[in-house]
Each structure stands twice: as C-alpha cells, then as structure tokens.
C-alpha cells in the first residue's frame, strides 16, 4: 500500500507540510485543516502524526463511505459520508481529522504534496506490503 512515511528525527518544525496540506485541500493556511500534524515535544524535537492507511476506519464506517483505492490508500467518499465521526473515534493513530464546524472528516491520502516541499526530508511517500 502507498503511505506517507515520516522521519521525525529529521523534522525541524517548520510546519511547511501543514501549510501545503491545508492550502491544497481547504484553500487556507490553517494547521487545524491539515491532514498531517506537527507537534513539538519537550525535548526540542517534533512528533509527526499522519495516517498509516491501516483501514480500521473502513470497517467501522456505517455507510461504507470509506474505501481503499487500487494503490491501497484509504479515501472518503464525501457523498456517502453521513458525518457520524465513528472513523475519527476508531482511528488508532488519531489521524482521521476533523475541524470545528466541519462535517466530513479528512485524512492523508499520500498525495506526496507535503513530502515534495519538506526541506529536511522528514516525509517520504513509500509503499509497503498490506
């Protein structure tokens, strides 16, 4: 499956990835609307949270709005989503995202846009066995 692999030790906390993601999908620069989250730790390092395409949400979705594409990436069909947020609750990595006032959750689809802009090589789109 295709997924965004993270190398937290290389992250410098520039947050460019969050800007790229939110601008690409929501047309705003807003970390709340980014599918990748960068958070500082108390040791001057950073954690990176992003979907690993584990598919727990696919089984949970009551309207079968969440599907897996040919490349193994988990996608949300907005037309079928009934906004229950069960997928958000079940996500083991807390990377099925919501924003205040939003109805449909969103997530990383391994589009590679952020990885391309990352100045330190902390993000890379890769494939792995299912």
Partner 1 sequence: MNDNESKYDIEKIRKAHKVLKEFTYELKPVVKGYNDRTLYINLATLEITIKPVPAEMKKKFIGGKGYDLKLLWDAVGGDTRWDSPENEICIATGPIAGNTNYPGSGKSLVTTISPQTGIPIDSNVGGHFGPYLKFSGFDAMEIQGKSDRDVLIYIDGNQGQVQIMEAPLEATDSHVVAEQLHEMFAANEREKQHVSVVSAGRGSEHAWIGCLNFSYWDKRRKLPRLKQAGRGGIGTVFRNKKIKAMVVKYSGLTGKSNNPVDLETLQKTGLKLHKEIITLDDKQCQMRTIGTAHLVEIMNDYDLLPTKNFRFGSHPEAKNLASWVWKAMFTQNVPDGCWFGCTMSCAHGIDNFELRTGPYKGHKVLVDGPEYETVGGCGSNPAIFDPKAVVEINFYCDTYGLDTISFGTLTGFIMDCYENGILNQERCGGLEMTWGNWEAALEMMHQIARGEKFGLIAGKGIKFMQEYFVKEYGADAQFLKDIGMHGKGLEQSEYQSKESLAQQGGYYLTNKGPQHDEAWLIFMDMVNNQIPTFEKKAEALHYFPMFRTWFGLMGLCKLPWNDVEPADNAKYPEPNKVPEHVQNYVDIYGAITGEKITKEELIRQSERVYNFQRVFNLKMGHGKRVEDHPPYRAMGPVTVEEYESRAERYDKALQEKQNIDPAGKSTEEKIKLLRQYREAQYESLIDAVFKRRGWSSDGVPTVEHLKAIGMDLPDVLALVKQHLPKTQEPVIAKEDARNQPAKAKKPKKTSAKSIKKPAKKGKRSAKSTKTAARPGSKKRARVLQKPKRAKGVTLKAKVKPAAAKSKAKKAKPVKQTKPGKTSRLAKKPKPIKKSKPVRKAKPTKKSGLIKKAKPAKKIKTIKKSKPAGKAKPVKKAKSKKK
**Residues of the shown chain interacting with partner 1 in the complex, contacts defined by CB under 8 A:** 59-60, 62-64, 82-86, 88-90, 98, 100-101, 103
Q: State the minimum distance, in angstroms, from the CB of residue 122 to partner 1.
A: 29
Alpha-carbon gap, residue 41 to 83, rounded angstroms: 32
User: For the CA atoms of 125, 36, 1, 24, what is the dihedral angle to 10 degrees?
Assistant: -70
Q: Which is nearer to partner 1, 27 or 100 (CB)?
A: 100
Q: Which is nearer to partner 1, 75 or 88 (CB)?
A: 88
Q: Which is nearer to partner 1, 17 or 97 (CB)?
A: 97
C-alpha distances (whole Å) from 59 to each of 4, 70, 112 are 21, 17, 25
Query: Which contiguous run of DSSP H or E holds residue 56?
Result: helix 56-60
Q: State the minimum distance, in angstroms, from the CB of residue 81 to partner 1.
A: 8
Q: State the minimum distance, in angstroms, from the CB of residue 33 to partner 1.
A: 15
């Amino acid at each position: 499956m295709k997924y965004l692999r993270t190398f937290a030790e290389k992250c410098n906390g520039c947050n460019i990835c969050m800007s790229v993601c939110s601008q690409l999908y929501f047309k705003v620069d807003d970390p709340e609307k980014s599918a990748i989250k960068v958070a500082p730790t108390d040791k001057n390092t950073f954690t990176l949270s992003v979907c690993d395409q584990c598919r727990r949400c696919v089984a949970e979705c009551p309207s079968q709005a969440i599907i897996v594409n040919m490349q193994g990436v988990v996608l949300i069909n907005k037309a079928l989503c009934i906004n229950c947020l069960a997928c958000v609750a079940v996500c083991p990595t807390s990377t099925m995202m919501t924003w205040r006032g939003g109805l449909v959750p969103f997530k990383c689809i391994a589009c590679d846009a952020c990885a391309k802009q990352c100045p330190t090589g902390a993000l890379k789109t890769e494939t792995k066995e299912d």
